[in-house]
Amino acid sequence: MKTSLQILLVAGARPNFMKIVPLFRTAKTVDSLSCKIVHTGQHYDYEMSQAFFDDLELPKPDFFLDAGSGSHAVQTGKIMTAFEEVVQVEQPDWVVVVGDVNSTLACSIVAKKEQIKVAHVEAGLRSRDMAMPEEINRMVTDTLSDLFFVTEQSGVDNLLQEGKPEKAIHLVGHVMIDNLFFQLEQLKTNNVQAMSTHALKQQHPAYGFMTLHRPSNVDAERVFRGIAEALNSIAEDLTLFFPVHPRTRKMMDRFKIKFSDNIICLDPLGFRESLYLWKDARVVLTDSGGLQEETTGLGIPCVTIRENTERPITIEMGSNVLAGTSTQGIVDAFHQSMEQKLDGRIPPLWDGRAAERIWQILQQWI
């Protein structure tokens, strides 16, 4: 006989790990919850998965599905097949999925076909760009979910417009910010002098931080060259630290794209060492959804190298400038970001307690 709610908490790709860690940490303090981690293996490279579990102090997953690489269809199919076996054995009360990656979609489909309730953390975000695989994942996952945990008001509005029941929609804040605040506290007690980037940071008291990995930005040579030209121009004014994603490194080599000497290319970094750099940056240039939110949480100027964003709250708060992907657009957005006066506004409920709210609501949902 079950004495507590049985939860499967799904993580598949790098952004998921940052979102599940506060959920798992909080669940351990609640007697009425039994939470197991399912790692789908969507990010199969050690640097992009296991290293993150270590860095974020997550335990070894209870289940590792080893999905690996492949097209969207192949990867989704592998995850569904493996996760079905887990669900049939475990028979959880809830499957909790986070974000918008293929694992989110795949595990939601399996759970619903097995008559298991699905809770979607970071529900309701929309870019309106159906060329983005993540947008398809978000929309289908929200079609299947029973509970919607939302980070910002736009998510609530989107879900209501799509006909989701109001009683199932909960604005709870953002677990990504929970993790961010926790990691900031950890940095205070860490020996940062031992970090591989400590000397670099001391050598460059004023710097920017950049990430670039989205397929639409790096897989097309013309787009990638235009972005690189903009970043090289910006680097004439400000040194940039650039931890290079494996996908981006591969495309740099393929297209023979060269970055300025003032763009210091680094190996991929763990979350904490990445945070150690960008938290003190003059500006962050990125195509990452998570960094848009994290910089907003700390009030750091951000330039988003994309044509759209499903996170409009970051622009409303004034910390994020949407640049597009043209060379001139990125350079102009950089200068706008440098001149913009930030007033320290933080979105409602981005206070580090989203995971607590999520578990409280889920326990009440019978």
pLDDT given at position 13: 80
Between 342 and 206, the more confident residue is 206
pLDDT given at position 70: 79
Mean pLDDT, the chain, as a whole number? 93
Which of the residue ranges 10-19, 38-47, 114-123 would you say has the lowest mean pLDDT? 38-47
Q: How large is the average pLDDT for residues 148-176?
A: 98
pLDDT given at position 200: 95
pLDDT given at position 344: 79
Which of the residue ranges 52-66, 116-130, 170-184, 303-317 would you say has the lowest mean pLDDT? 52-66
pLDDT given at position 274: 94
* pLDDT cut 70: percent of the chain above it: 96
Amino acid at the residue 155: G
How far apart (Å, rounded) are the C-alpha atoms in residues 329 and 222? 15
pLDDT given at position 66: 86
Tokens of 208: 């920017």
Question: 37 has which bridge partners?
Answer: 9
pLDDT given at position 44: 55
Catalytic residues: 213
Residue 1 scores a pLDDT above 60:
no
Q: How large is the average pLDDT for residues 213-221?
A: 95
* pLDDT cut 90: percent of the chain above it: 82
- What are the phi and psi torsion angles at 358 (to 5°)? -60, -50
* Ordered structural domains, the chain, with CATH: 5-174+350-364 (3.40.50.2000), 192-339 (3.40.50.2000)
pLDDT given at position 50: 60
Residues in the chain: 366
Question: 202 has which bridge partners?
Answer: none
- For 116-166, give the DSSP string: -EEEEETTT-----TTSHHHHHHHHHHHH-SEEEESSHHHHHHHHHTT--G
Q: 15 pLDDT band (50/70/90 cuts)?
A: confident
CB 256 within 8 A of CB 228: no
Amino acid at the residue 78: K
Amino acid at the residue 181: F
Write out pLDDT tens, residues 82-132.
999 999 999 999 999 999 999 999 999 999 999 999 999 999 999 999 989
pLDDT given at position 56: 82
Residue 47 scores a pLDDT above 70:
no
Question: 64 has which bridge partners?
Answer: 39
Write out pLDDT tens, residues 252-308.
999 999 999 999 999 999 889 999 999 999 999 999 999 999 999 999 999 999 999
pTM score > 0.85 for this model? yes
Write out pLDDT tens, residues 181-202.
999 999 998 888 989 999 999 9
Between 366 and 283, the more confident residue is 283
How far apart (Å, rounded) are the C-alpha atoms in residues 50 and 36? 17
SS3 state of residue 345:
coil
Interior CA angle at 100 toward 160 and 137, to 5°? 75
